[in-house]
Structure 1
Amino acid sequence: MYSIDWRSDLDSYFDIDPAEGTISTNEMLDRETLPWHNISIVATKLNSPVLTSRVAVSVHVLDINEFPPELASPYESFVCENAKVGQVIQLFSAKDQDVPNSGQQFSFKATKDEVRNKNFTIRDFGNNTAGIVTKRGGFRRRSQEIYHLPVVIEDNGYPPKSSTGTLTIRVCGCAADGSLLTCSAEAIFLPVGLSTGALIAILLCIVILLVIVVLYVGLKRQKKKETLMSSKEDIRDNVIHYDDEGGGEEDTHAFDMGTLRNPKVVKDNLFRRDVKPEVKQGPRAPPSKDSADIRAFINQRLKEHDGDNSAPPYDSLATYAYEGNGSVAESLSSIESLAVDAEEDYDYLNEWGPRFKTLAGIFGEQSEARSDSTNTEH
């Protein structure tokens, strides 16, 4: 009986027929991962299991052409501005992960689209190497700094594999003997002796100056706006100031009683409220009975107002007017009210709230006074 020592084939790549001893594969074999496999085959006698022998078997995994060729390395090519026509500027080669029995053989050529390229072409030297050849001269970094050249690489395997790589060519400044000087495009615009670090420092200073100017202009505009706000848009200009103490001896302009007078009366002799009128001396008329009644009424109301605890603590003006007989609305005073008015009940004024408290007190006292007078006459 034949078997495979499991310690020599831990991944179980192979299997063996126990009677025939034919070795077969259990898994896919990859030459690029493990090109050789070493296993141990054990032979055992059936009627005597203790009689065994073993032999080492080496399995060589052959290669097939499954990988396309590629560039050997990422080449960094350059062409001088003073390069001549037909000059080889770069040599390159290829590599392949496959190992054909007859050896590797690569061919190089330009793509179909690059056949009409007027700048560069590919030259195959037949020894697995090729070169980049210039087709013109007079390259300038100002017009174009970098060129890309595709190249097709093909191997000789079966079936053949091919791939397309890209070569990058940079235009550089060179000396007369072809030695490289610089490939930086910014060096064209720099004066002699000015390095890249110096240029960066100059640009940084310019940026800082621009930032300072922008900040200065912004602060100046902000300051100007604040000045306009303080002079024209000051919110305090919308506040109306009053210097009125709420009345007094000379504050009679706000209590013009002319609206209660007869509108047919000509207002030719009106005086300004803020100017004391000139008093003309003349014969004084004897006091009438109506004047005495009005004076007594005003004195009584003045005493009541002075003794009222609910009156405001500041100076106020209490106005009492007597229209006389010329008013269109007739008399509005309670002095000339009819006798029937005395019987009217003004208690409902107490229900109107604090604003009518004084008025309710006045009419309440009048009602009590008239009731006492009526009782006395009776």
Structure 2
Amino acid sequence: MGHSPAVAWSHAHGGTCGVPLSCGTPLTITSGCQATTDTKPPGKLGALFSPRPNPIRGACHCAPQHHASPCPLPQHCTPLRRFQGHRQHRVPPQGASPAQTGVTVLGSPQAWRQQEAPRRVKRAWVIPPISVSENHKRIPHLLVQVGSDKQQPGGVIYSIKGPGVDEEPLGIFSIDKFSGKVFLNAMLDREENDRFRLKAFALDLGGMTLEDPTDLEIIVVDQNDNRPLFRQDVFTGRVVEGAEPGTCVMKVDATDADDPDTDNAVVRYSILEQGAGGMFSINATTGEICTARPGLDRETMGVYNLTVQAADMSGDGLTTTAMAVIYLEDINDNPPEFTKEEFSMEVEEQAVGVDVGKVFVHDKDLAGSPNWLAKFTILEGDPEGAFAIRTDPHTNDGVLSVAKPLDHEVRDRFELTVSVQNERPLEPTAPASPRALATMQVRVRDVNEAPVFRENPRRISVLEGTPPGTPITTYTASDPDTHQLQTLTYSLLYDPADWLRLDPHTGTIRTKRELLHPSAFLQGGWYIALVLARDDAEPPLSATGTLSIEILEVNDHAPVLQPPAALLCGRPGRGGTLLLGATDDDRPPHGAPFHFQLSPQHPQLARNWSITRFNVTHAVLAVLAELPQGLYSLPLLLRDSGTPPREQQQLLNVSVCHCGREGTCEDSVLAATSAGAGITLGALVIILGSSILLLVLVGLGAARVRGRRRALRKGLLQRSRDDLRDNILNYDEQGGGEEDQDAYDINQLRYPELFSPRVKPPLRRDAPLSSATPLAPRKLRSGPSDIEDFINEGLEAADSDPSVPPYDTALIYDYEGSGSVASPLSSIVSSLTDEDQDYDYLTEWGPRFRRLADLYGQ
């Protein structure tokens, strides 16, 4: 306490202002002042703060406590304070709370005791924040000096820890461990770190802590070192043409990485360039772009390119630019117009659906939009609706087409009046204009037209049985080309029954044969023929007419009784009735209903017989009195319903038998035999004899077939060891002769009965291994001597073998592979004995010699 502290103020650039203050006077250091004391009491910790500019604007002053006169601070000066290492307390002024003042009271202990009531206070280091500007280039730079009042014989060791020291980012701060001076070793960037919080330690030589660690807060003061940045390089907006002034189009925005609490980050917007007219303006604060003047016309200028600038420091600092592209959207403010007033075109007659020509229009609105798309209408000149007009969506042209067939002979020229307008109605702001009209001159070109049958199909009726050569109709066509004076010829294109003859010049059709019912060429009583008419143009054209001929039915057939014979009981009542029917080859209405009656020429029949109608096609014959047994022939008269009706008298053979109580004939077999359709007993015997003879012949044929198959099962392909039935020939011999000169013994084939069959005939091996083996091998027969029968019977047996049905097919015998490992074939010698050769080795030669192995192997 014996030292007199002195306080001096320093210039912002490090110079001393030289304003002295009295020692021991309590000081109130407001924001922006820094003070140091050049002495420290014994046993107290001192802290040294280096002069730094304060970021807060305004005059900086200090005022002695309990004094009315302030201590003025020179302009452009920042206080450099050095104070004794007394513990610091935030003491509010009289009548104010610490939160309201936010000041730090520094001074001697006597001054503290004058301000505080007597109480126990815990001592702690309190060091105000240290401000340092970013991008400071004088490195290293002294920030602060810390010191402890607990001096040791060997001295005090100082250290700091925290971000920028032993934490990322490393190497920014350092401390002189003996003097306690803290230095800045690298340039700072506020945009990366705006403050650093460090811990300061005081240790003895043994590493023991002398004081509690104190906090060092280093604030990085912002500088305007970052330009504003637009969020994108090109901004896009749209506005309709003709928009009113003040219509907002789009908004641009930029960001500044500097401190948002300073002017360094306050951005202002402006338009540097937008072309002639100045049609747009921008809000300097919000960046919103709006229309500034009327008269936006897409047809004049469809796109506006604006160069927009953003500047910080409220427009006086760093700048950057971006592009704002504004597209004008089209409205329907321009009607379509024809490129000329009259269009000429021509089309062939009879052409339907073809395009005749185009009319061309021009519209200033946006191509492809509904404001541009045209709609055409035919106003005059086409009362029949022969033409149609549509819009080509790609070119916006009007396409005229034929909707109905045109006839040069009827009308060869059309004059059409066509109008055009947009699909979408014009905007009310569009200038008024008259409706666009154009004239289309269409000429119809004459072409050769095919003949035309005016009546197609032609239907006529012809009586069946009409004699050949009778004219039935004249079927002609007309030529629409009246001015060309062409000649037509006719021919029959389709006449399936060859019933007709056609005159090629007049078209008269006559019967060639008699037309009769029934016929396979009639379809429901109609005969269909096709007539071809051809003109003499080049090339000629033709037309086809259909002639439908109805063959009228003639009542030329009388009804036929069915059945012609019957059996019934000879007494009235049960069993004494018979159902009669009739058939007629005529078609309705010349057939049923039929009329049945007893012949009027024999009236005595009515005493014993009666006929009653049952339906339109049947009647009932009944016995009126008991009749003796025997055969009765009843003459009946049958009549149809044709015009005129046809009738015919027919005989009904009735066999009367003796009936039992049940109404059935007791001798029905004999009666049926003798009366069945007039067949006599002799005829019946002949039929039975013929049937028996036929059965005998069939039995003999079956026995012959069974005998032949039994013979085949006994000795099909009877083999012996010397029975060689093949001869291997060499067809690719290039010279030198063949070693095997022994010929095949053909006598074994011609006379197989001379050679005894093998004791153990081998099984067939040409079936696959999975096929079932027959239960008993087939035996060979000793004959026949005829080679053809022998081969045919062997083939039949092979086909009936159930074990190998799929494998008896055509095989390739002339392919012997790429080489044979077997011995020469000359070792196989034809012999008449079984002891000369052993052919079991043939099974080792492969599948090509399997057949030989089967024939001669064991």
TM-score normalized by the length of structure 1: 0.42
Higher RCO (C-alpha 8 Å, min separation 6): 1
TM-score normalized by the length of structure 2: 0.20
